[in-house]
A and B are shown apart, each in its own frame.
Chain A
Amino acid sequence: MKKIVLIVFIIIVVVFAFVLMTNSQDSVKDAIKDIAGSDSSVFSKTCINEFNELYAVNKADLTQCSSAIRTGSFAGTDPTPKENNVVLIFDASGSMAGKVADERKIDMAKKAVEDFVTQLSDTKVQVSVVVYGHKGDNTDANKKVSCAGIEELYTFGSADGAKMERTLKSFEPTGWTPIADALEKAYAILKPYNTDAYNNSIVLISDGIETCEGDPVAVVQSMQERGLSVTANVIGFDVDDEASEQLNAIAENGNGSYFSAASQSELDFALQKQIDFMKKFDYRMQRVSENLQDINTATELHFGCVKALEVERAKILLDIYADERVTKECAEQVDDMYSEKYEVLQQSLWNSFDAMVQEFKQKSQ
């Protein structure tokens, strides 16, 4: 009997204690809820002050982050490649009237040059065409006239296929080969553009050696000595060994390349390489390079902001949870208030970064 009474008593005590415990927890929750919801409560004010003090101490300066990333140098920067200037020196000496595969060399060269200029018509490349050998004739009597007859028939300017076609129709091969003086003419045309903003090049198309007593190798050498940054590329069209040797020497001394062409397709290929050379190096590579500088700078800025935000969060959490002076309830309230703010800032930073990376990818194609 006594045992039964004792067991009943214990059960009553356990039930009572459980009810007491539950009520106690509810009371605490209600109290916190009430206090938190009341502006005049001591708890709320104290905790908000706690948060404000902590935030003032640990606050990261992120204002620069959002504005700098959105309007950073990368986003607003367009690639600024060097502009290309090219002077084509066109051989219209009498030998160009000769034929290769039943077609006049002059006509094949004209076709190749016209295609070359047409392909450049939508670029910023500035073109000039200097012609020699089209004056006088190839007799000794008219040698002086012919050697002096060097003209810029296509005036230095933007590439225009139709205009070039008209220019090429305006002369025929007839005289001598003043390569050296033609190179001097090209030098005079390019000299005003001798700055870092330009890549200057000369493309000489010839089927023979200098015949007007000039020294074309010395002329291209002197261009460098006179301070002009220029590349002299040479296309030898259906040339013999002697001509090939001299034309190669011009290219070598002009910091350029020599191409030997013996057909229309080889001539086209040689000129196509000039275009590839200018387009590839001066646009694609330059563009990727410049954008890479920008994305590196912007990424460094972004992660500087990520670092600042994460440090801010760490400091606040450590301050509130590792400091015994801050009550648990207040710590959690501060945590909730700050976490909301943190998540918004974090999302904003990564959204800006992702957009910037996409832009980098697009602009670097």
Chain B
Amino acid sequence: MRQNTFNTLRVVTIACLVLGTGLFVIETTNASRGIGSSEGNVRTYTDDRGEWTETPTSLYFTGDTMQWELAPTSFTYNDGVHSWEETPNTITYRGPAGSWEQTPTTQSFSDGDRSLNETPTTRSYTGDDENLLETPNTREYEDEEGSSYEAPID
């Protein structure tokens, strides 16, 4: 009789432990959308949207389609359609409509059909049917038929 009682209690105890563990696992899984953590100066959070990470010098996100990173002197962004790079001296955009870039002294544009490049001393343009070049002393024009024109300017 005593042995029977002991066996029964042992089985009940094991059953309760199994059930308790199951309850904990189910509770945790259902209640938590993602996992966040903070260790030292680094914080992270991850869920089905992506992963965010913060360090003392950067903050970045990585998702299925979008990634970006912010550093003390730069910011980069890419969502699969648009991309952007920003540094102290250069900004660059690339997207469906074309790409354009700017530095303190230059700017450029290209959309596959046309392009424009400018420096402090020159400016060149390439279009569907013409090429143009402007320098401090000259202007040059050439069209698709091969006609060309050059003119010095002051």
A interface with B by C-beta (< 8 Å): 2, 6, 9-10, 13-14, 17-18, 21, 24-25, 224, 229, 231, 233, 252, 255-257, 269, 273, 276-277, 280-281, 284-285, 288-289, 292-293, 295-296, 299-300, 303, 306-307, 310-311, 314-315, 317-318, 320-324, 328-329, 331-332, 335, 357-358, 360-361, 364
Contacts and interface: CB of A to CB of B under 8 A. Distances in A.
A318 B116 contact: no
Contacts of B31: 328-329
Contact of A25 (B30, B33, B150): B30
B40 to A, nearest CB: 12
B77 A307 contact: yes
Contacts of B32: 328
A84 B152 CA distance: 16
Contacts of A233: 151
A277 B91 contact: no
Contact of A14 (B19, B43, B84): B19
A288 B151 contact: no
A255 B132 contact: no
A231 B153 contact: yes
A14 B107 contact: no
A233 B149 CA distance: 12
Contacts of B19: 13-14, 17-18, 21
Contact of B95 (A273, A281, A306, A357): A357
Contacts of B35: 321
Given A292-B109, A296-B91, A318-B52, A285 B125 contact: yes
Contacts of A295: 100, 109
Q: Tell me which of A6, A25, A322, A358 has the highest count of chain B C-beta atoms within 10 A of its own C-beta.
A: A322
A288 B125 contact: yes
A229 B154 CA distance: 7
A285 B134 contact: yes
Contacts of B149: 257, 273, 276-277
- Size class of the contact patch on chain B: 35 or more
Contacts of B125: 284-285, 288
B45 to A, nearest CB: 4
A322 B43 contact: yes
Contacts of B38: 322-324
A193 to B, nearest CB: 15
Contacts of A328: 31-32
Contacts of A229: 154
Q: Specify the main secondary structure of chain A where it touches its partner.
A: helix
B34 A321 contact: yes
A2 B153 CA distance: 111
Nearest to A224: B154
A196 to B, nearest CB: 13
A318 B70 contact: no
A314 B107 contact: no
B44 interface: yes
Given A257-B150, A331-B33, 13 more contacts: A17-B16, A25-B26, A276-B141, A276-B143, A292-B108, A296-B102, A300-B102, A314-B59, A315-B54, A318-B44, A322-B37, A332-B33, A364-B114
Contact of A280 (B34, B36, B100, B141): B141
B123 A257 contact: no
Contacts of A281: 132, 134, 139, 141
A303 B86 contact: yes
A341 B77 CA distance: 21
Given A13-B15, A255-B152, A288-B116, A321 B68 contact: no
A147 B91 CA distance: 61
Contacts of A307: 68, 70, 75, 77
Given A281-B132, A310-B68, A293 B107 contact: yes
Contacts of B27: 25
Contacts of A2: 4
A277 B141 contact: yes
B36 A289 contact: no
A320 B34 CA distance: 11
Contacts of B84: 299, 303, 306
A311 B43 CA distance: 14
A203 B102 CA distance: 38
A288 B109 contact: yes
A43 to B, nearest CB: 15
A319 B59 CA distance: 13
Interface in B98-127: 98, 100-102, 107-109, 111, 114, 116, 118, 123, 125, 127
Contacts of A329: 31
Contacts of B109: 288, 292, 295
Contacts of A288: 109, 114, 116, 125
Contacts of B102: 296, 300
